[in-house]
Structure 1
Amino acid sequence: MKTASFEAYYAPLATLIRTRSLQGLDLDIEEPVTLSTATRLISRLRADFGPDFIITLAPVATALLPDPRLTPAQRPPRPMLAASGSMPNPLHPTLPHLSGFSYPELECSVFGREISWYNTQFYCGWGDASSTQGYDAIVAAGWHPSRVVMGVVTNLGNGAGHVGLRELRGVLARLRTKYTGQGGFGGVMGWEWFNSGQTETDMTHIATLDINTSGQSIRSSPQASWVAAIGTVLRSEAPPLVVEQPAGPASFLGNVTSEQIRQMVTQLPEPSTPWPNEKVDSLIAIGFERHEAVAALNATDGNAELAANLLFEQ
């Protein structure tokens, strides 16, 4: 991205952070950008807002998974890295995702240390929060579990892939138990807050739980109750005892087979758009991909001419 374009977008963002006294920012990059553009933003945020400013990213789950379609002979060797501990292979292509750059490459670079954690989206066709398999595959690929937060939808109306609270608490309990000795499970992120816990099944389940804190009930709202129900799993003094399912044959993705991963992403969702098809098609006709066209129209409030100019500036 050209310097003038970067500054035009960055200036109002920086003003918002200062005006609202924000303590951090989650970067949900859902359009194709280069790694250099992402790291430029990360570097600028760190320089302008200091070492205590929290920077997180929100990749879809497939962005952290190595592409299992590569045969063993095609898989690149893992390079020798200066960083210690578990790391993904930055040379191994990942499954398709939304951001355009390699998250393993980012994590293994000097900029990886600037990211506090990854709010990984296990919903809308990009992952599955109804079991531990997808998360386990990410950890098996080299990601440290403390860096990977399981992102879920908190209500049926927020997107595909909603997992009921009772089932979700079971999954989280298994993850916490499994990764206690490996630095700890990264936790859970919910999308969104305003209507979390407001399904009939979730409210019924919450009613069966003891979710008092220091003698004070926190059933003041469905949202607070949903968070508290998750907290009873993640914040209890000892990890819940759970019975692990027998493990199947291991692969380079752990106990998740390549075929299971392929099934997870058989039909990758196309980006939704409120703009007329003819506007999207007009940008595709001049050489841009659909996701690029949608992102540009979103950024220009549906103005096809401005969207084209924006794309040509990249």
Structure 2
Amino acid sequence: MLGGAAKGSFERLGGSDEECEAYYAPLRTLLQHHPLDGLDLDIEEPVPLSTPVRLLTRLRADFGPSFLLTLAPVATALLPDPSHPAPPRPASLAPNTPNPLHRSLPHLSGFSYAELEASPAGRLVEWYNTQFYCGWGDAQTTGWYDAIVAAGWDPRRVVLGVVTNAANGAGHVGLGLLREVCGVLRARYAARGGFGGVMGWEYFNAGLGEGDRDVVRAVSRAEETEVGATPPAGPAGWAKALGLVLRAETPPAPSAPAPPLPSPAAVVAALAQPAVPWPGRDVDALVALGFSRHEAVAALNATDGHVELAAGLLFER
């Protein structure tokens, strides 16, 4: 992963050709030295579209088609803003592609992911590790994911990003419920080639919450006769419990049938506000200053919940 909380990474890679080369050269050397399968671009600072386009193009040219290039937008980055009327889709736009002319909800990256996806550079992106947590989305139901697909995104290219442990950030979804959600998504989008799967942040402490341990033990007992031994708890158990839903030829049936997918407008309008890691009064204090809820949450995330520093950060933008 490149970027994330390391603000300034993409600003430095987005300057003039000379400035970009000064920072791209050591990145290229690092990737040449270590046999990585690819690089995930987690752009959590406002940059123009030219920055990821140039970086994707350089990485593809230097490391070839087998090197995986992914991006990690927050969920709101893939959703159109319902307060702005939807412009007509360009006639040349391919199916399963979001409208690049429709303004998105507030997010962290600055540029339009829909515009990137519709451009030639979008074909260089293998998939999007979408963050459905920390106030930017919700994985407790399929609602946010369904809204993204309803907006035109190909479900095969949208990964459900979750936090694997409540200690990693707000919006943690227990393993039992997450298995249910994944089962519904797999069934719902099977006819369209499936959905993109799951990304967990982070691996080292996955499955170690008390409720998740119980699910891993239950799955282990059910699978003992097949595997011959109880799978380990923790990260490996978390991955196996999800894998049995995501990869099994005949996955466990969801406890309830998947409801039909409503219209795109109804899906976006029905989205619940996701959980955030900060007290509501702190978010409201920043909203009262004239900023959106998403901008307030982003500033609090960047300042570790310090309201005054968050306000200063917002006013500097």
Q: TM-score, normalised by structure 2?
A: 0.81
Which residue among 92, 104, 118 is the counterpart of 1:108? 118
Which residue among 250, 267, 288 is the counterpart of 2:293? 267
Which residue among 78, 94, 98 is the counterpart of 2:104? 94
How far apart are the structure 2 equivalents of 1:161 and 1:281?
A: 23
Equivalent position SS for 1:227: helix
2:74 aligns to what? 60
CA deviation after TM superposition for structure 1 residue 15, in Å? 1.4
How far apart are the structure 1 equivalents of 2:74 and 2:151?
A: 15
How far apart are the structure 2 equivalents of 1:272 and 1:39?
A: 25
Does residue 130 of structure 2 align to residue 120 of structure 1?
A: yes
2:150 aligns to what? 140
| Correspondences of 1:76-87 after superposition (within 5 Å) | 76-81=87-92, 83=94, 85-87=95-97
1:27 aligns to what? 41
CA deviations 1:122-171 (Å, max 9, x no partner) are 00010000000000000011001000000000001000000000000000
Which residue among 236, 253, 256 is the counterpart of 1:241? 253
Structure 1 counterpart of 2:232, which letter?
Answer: S
CA deviations 1:207-253 (Å, max 9, x no partner) are 111356973547335110000000010011024433335458x4434
Equivalent position SS for 1:55: strand
How far apart are the structure 2 equivalents of 1:200 and 1:62?
A: 30
CA deviations 1:236-273 (Å, max 9, x no partner) are 1024433335458x4434x5142x33745973212323
How far apart are the structure 1 equivalents of 2:96 and 2:135?
A: 27
How far apart are the structure 2 equivalents of 1:252 and 1:33?
A: 29
Q: Unpaired runs of 5+ in structure 1?
A: 290-314
Does residue 250 of structure 2 align to residue 220 of structure 1?
A: no
How far apart are the structure 2 equivalents of 1:60 and 1:130?
A: 16
1:36 aligns to what? 50
Closer, same or farther in 2 for the Cα pair 1:262/1:96, shift >3 Å?
A: farther
CA deviation after TM superposition for structure 1 residue 274, in Å? 6.5
Q: Unpaired runs of 5+ in structure 2?
A: 1-14, 276-291
CA deviation after TM superposition for structure 1 residue 24, in Å? 0.3
Closer, same or farther in 2 for the Cα pair 1:68/1:276, shift >3 Å?
A: closer
How far apart are the structure 1 equivalents of 2:105 and 2:43?
A: 16
Structure 1 counterpart of 2:103, which letter?
Answer: P
Contact kept in structure 1, 2:143 and 2:271, CA below 8 Å:
no
2:194 aligns to what? 184
Does residue 218 of structure 2 align to residue 205 of structure 1?
A: no
Structure 1 counterpart of 2:89, which letter?
Answer: R
Closer, same or farther in 2 for the Cα pair 1:124/1:50, shift >3 Å?
A: same
Does residue 27 of structure 2 align to residue 6 of structure 1?
A: no
C-alpha RMSD of the superposition: 2.6
Structure 1 counterpart of 2:248, which letter?
Answer: S
Which has the higher mean CA deviation after the structures are superposed, 48-57 or 237-246? 237-246
Identical columns (%): 54
Closer, same or farther in 2 for the Cα pair 1:283/1:246, shift >3 Å?
A: closer
Equivalent position SS for 2:207: coil
Which residue among 36, 46, 67 is the counterpart of 2:60? 46
Contact kept in structure 1, 2:188 and 2:258, CA below 8 Å:
no
Structure 1 counterpart of 2:302, which letter?
Answer: S
